[in-house]
Amino acid sequence: MSWTLMIHGGAGSMRRGKLDPGQETAARAGLSDALAAGEELLAKGASALDAVEAAARVLEEDPAFNAGRGSVLAHDGHVECDAAIMEGKDRRAGAVAGLRTTRAPITAARRVLDSSPHVLMGRGGAEEFALEQGLEQVPNTWFVTPERRRQLDELLAKGSDAFDAEIKYGTIGAVAVDSDGHVAAATSTGGLTAKRWGRIGDSPLIGAGTYADDRAAAVSATGLGEIFIRAAAAHEVCARLRFCGDDLQQTLDKVLADIGDMGGTGGMIAVRPDGTAAWSYTTPAMYRGRVGADGERTVSVFGDED
């Protein structure tokens, strides 16, 4: 059987020697655990869709990343989670935005895909649907960690309109191709620190931060969501693969260059039905990992590890 799983835990300003050693160790361990969860399924012949959900679920539970528990705080101090999942065979998709009490946002998105006629649900409606689906609910405080509270307080001290210039896009994501040659993608995030007015980024928007198409690839993105939305980044990767003839690495690099021209930074991971996998990022680093049926396993953080 041939299969591949690739994950990311966000791109950002992390630099060797400046990232807290404890944070680095925790992030690498979390990435390794997520790879193991997806690998176990794919090695048994499970679908890419199941594998990316499982990998993303592990990362959502890990406070080292900006998704699920450990998500950044909005301007008023609460957490709002967004997530999306998509499979490439029939291009079915499910997404949720603005969840405050559903413990597993990526599983809520999966339930939208599997058990509803819709693609995207938001806020109270999404929460009601998740509750009807029997998904575990928790107090919003369950998602909050002391470090995320500190980050919000530090940013708000600079002024109500302050923006984190040293931002770390901790969005998590997974892409996979299974032994049947089908691809899938999953992305989950808490968004941006001090976000306001119900801001929603690219992660739960199909074609922006998440996309999967067996004719091209599965893609998950992390970065300044407003620019990735304007670029329709994940879909743009797939469209270029289908119509322009570039290889996967070239395609990711070109789409991120276009995003850079619009003032955005970030990264993407992608895998094709033939097992070709690649990542690209325009920040100093990106939490990332890959495992395949060939036995190769990689967990990396800094740019000089490529």
Q: What is the 3-state secondary structure (H, E, C) of 5-64?
A: EEEEEEEECCCCCCCCHHHHHHHHHHHHHHHHHHHHHHHCCCCHHHHHHHHHHHHHHCCC
Number of domains in the chain: 1
In a domain, 61, yes or no: yes
Position 49 scores a pLDDT of: 98
Return d(Cα 218, Cα 205) in angstroms, integer: 14
Please report, in tens digits, the pLDDT of each residue of the chain (306 residues total): 699 999 999 998 788 877 788 888 999 999 999 999 999 999 999 999 999 999 999 999 999 999 999 999 999 999 999 999 999 999 999 999 999 999 999 999 999 999 999 999 999 999 999 999 999 999 999 999 999 999 999 999 987 666 554 555 579 999 999 999 999 999 999 999 999 999 999 999 999 999 999 999 999 999 999 999 999 999 999 999 999 988 999 999 999 999 999 999 999 999 999 999 999 999 999 999 999 999 899 999 998 887
In a domain, 256, yes or no: no
Q: Helix, strand or coil for residue 133?
A: coil
Q: Where are the alpha helices (H) located in the chain, listed in sequence order?
A: 21-43, 48-61, 105-115, 123-132, 146-156, 225-231, 233-243, 248-261
Q: Catalytic positions, please?
A: 171
Return d(Cα 175, Cα 8) in angstroms, integer: 9
Position 167 scores a pLDDT of: 58
Helix axes 48-61, 21-43, angle to 10 degrees: 160
DSSP secondary structure string, 96-122? EEEESSBS-HHHHHHHHHHH-S-SEEE
Question: How far is CA 240 from its chain centroid?
Answer: 21
The number of beta carbons lying within 10 Å of the beta carbon of residue 76 is: 9
pTM flag (> 0.85): yes
In a domain, 268, yes or no: no
Position 21 scores a pLDDT of: 86
In a domain, 21, yes or no: yes
In a domain, 101, yes or no: yes
Return d(Cα 286, Cα 203) in angstroms, integer: 16
Position 169 scores a pLDDT of: 59
In a domain, 221, yes or no: no
In a domain, 100, yes or no: yes
Question: Token pair for residue 46?
Answer: 């499970």
Position 1 scores a pLDDT of: 65
Query: Residue 176 is part of which domain span?
Result: 4-206+284-305
